[in-house]
Structure 1
Amino acid sequence: MPEPQTDRTGAAVHVTLDAPPPAVGAYTVRLEDGTPAGRADFVDPPGADGERVIFHTEVAPEFGGRGLAGILVREALAGAARENLTVVPVCPLFARHLREHGDAYTAGGGRFRRPRPADLALVEQAVKGRA
């Protein structure tokens, strides 16, 4: 299991990468006891090596206010940078984070670009495929 992080309550949480199946993958945040608390969903476009379209972030309401969404954002972005992937932030939370902290992200080796219509179509197709 990866090294735990600490949420705003001081509790240990773990973020793991659920390897993407043919369509949708996710970073998942779990409590110390393994209880799932949230996720950041993404799709890696086929034929577009080196990109990750992050399209949805969700934290269960009972875990709100603990900073888990921020932990997910930072871990997903760090993971993309480690994998040398360009992030395409369709998710409003990721887009806002990169608007505010994009310079620091790119200074640390990360890359991102604005979503294009084809990215939105890809997300729609991936979501339909998992329904």
Structure 2
Amino acid sequence: MTEGLIDNTGASVTVELDIADPVSSYTVSLADGPPVGRADFVDSPGAAADRIFFHTEVDQEFGGRGLAGLLVRAALADSISKNLTVVPVCPLFARHLRTHGDEFVANGGVFRLPTPTDIALVTRVTRSGA
């Protein structure tokens, strides 16, 4: 999906989209290796084109390399390209959009604050897997 990214150490990084039901993820990998981080999301059911990001993590041994930031930026860029509204439940996404939200919107992105319905959806799918 997104190639040509470079982490803080100069290593080549790839971000890929892994669609699953009900929880999908963007994953980050170094070179051609296995994923070392992920940003989990659910898409709102029905007509709304909302992508609710609720959890982001990078394996501890790869911390400090800027991988989480690369992952967030790639996921947000993909959301723009798919005309999705981003709903940042994940603190990392929320912090990024607080800081860079104007830039995200200027690039064509749309985001909104999470509602109790969004939180209930995330809670339901992460507890039951459905």
Q: TM-score, normalised by structure 1?
A: 0.94
Q: Sequence identity of aligned pairs in percent?
A: 62
Q: Counterpart of 1:65?
A: 64
Q: CA RMSD in A?
A: 1.4
Structure 1's unaligned 5+ residue stretches are none
**One-letter code of the match for 1:118?**
T
Q: Counterpart of 1:33?
A: 32
Structure 2's unaligned 5+ residue stretches are none
Q: Counterpart of 2:128?
A: 129
Residue deviations 1:65-113 (CA, integer Å, cap 9, x gap)? 0000000110010010000000000000000110011001001000000
Residue deviations 1:34-65 (CA, integer Å, cap 9, x gap)? 22110000000111431100000000000000
Where 2:37 maps in the other structure, the secondary structure is strand
TM superposition outliers: structure 1 runs of 4+ over 4 Å: none
Where 1:62 maps in the other structure, the secondary structure is helix
Q: Counterpart of 1:22?
A: 21
Distance 2:11 2:54 in 1: 27
Q: TM-score, normalised by structure 2?
A: 0.95
Distance 2:41 2:51 in 1: 7
